[in-house]
Structure 1
């Protein structure tokens, strides 16, 4: 490899730092940071099995763990921290199948 003089080394450093700054500015403009809301998911269940329709509302709020939610069912706290698959399991158990008549 060839040796670089001191002047050439400074120019290389300047051009690299300029390229990094330009790339960072482009990333900041194209990918703005999005703030996630506290209410992550809303599940509305309407049950027609009884004589008249009954609607339940599940509100899933953000917690400190990834893929865990604080769940309110009809505005009452159901679980402080629960995962998505366990939420679906709870819905399945709470709304069992009915016999065909």
Structure 2
């Protein structure tokens, strides 16, 4: 069984990434502050969550593509500090683009 993927942040990059996950057959739940941005993905089969909490409750793995938030500068945040996450979330790792690239390139 494929992991249920949650995707928050449906700008140019996030929308394309979520669409590719849907095309690959993953069950995807999406959330965006602007609900209109969830509609094309819902038409492709995604579940459109009404809140970040609902997204977290409906996925095994969550991907956040968001910018300019207080979370963007925290490398690791205990999940209980973020009340909008589901209760089963034990830890949250946030990487900015540079750190994400370095994690995969090993530099």
Q: Same fold (TM over 0.5)?
A: no
> Which structure has the bigger radius of gyration?
1
Q: Calculate the TM-score normalised by the size of structure 1.
A: 0.23
Q: Calculate the TM-score normalised by the size of structure 2.
A: 0.22
Higher relative contact order (Cα pairs below 8 Å, separated by 6+ residues):
2
Greater fraction of residues in strand: 1
Greater fraction of residues in helix: 2
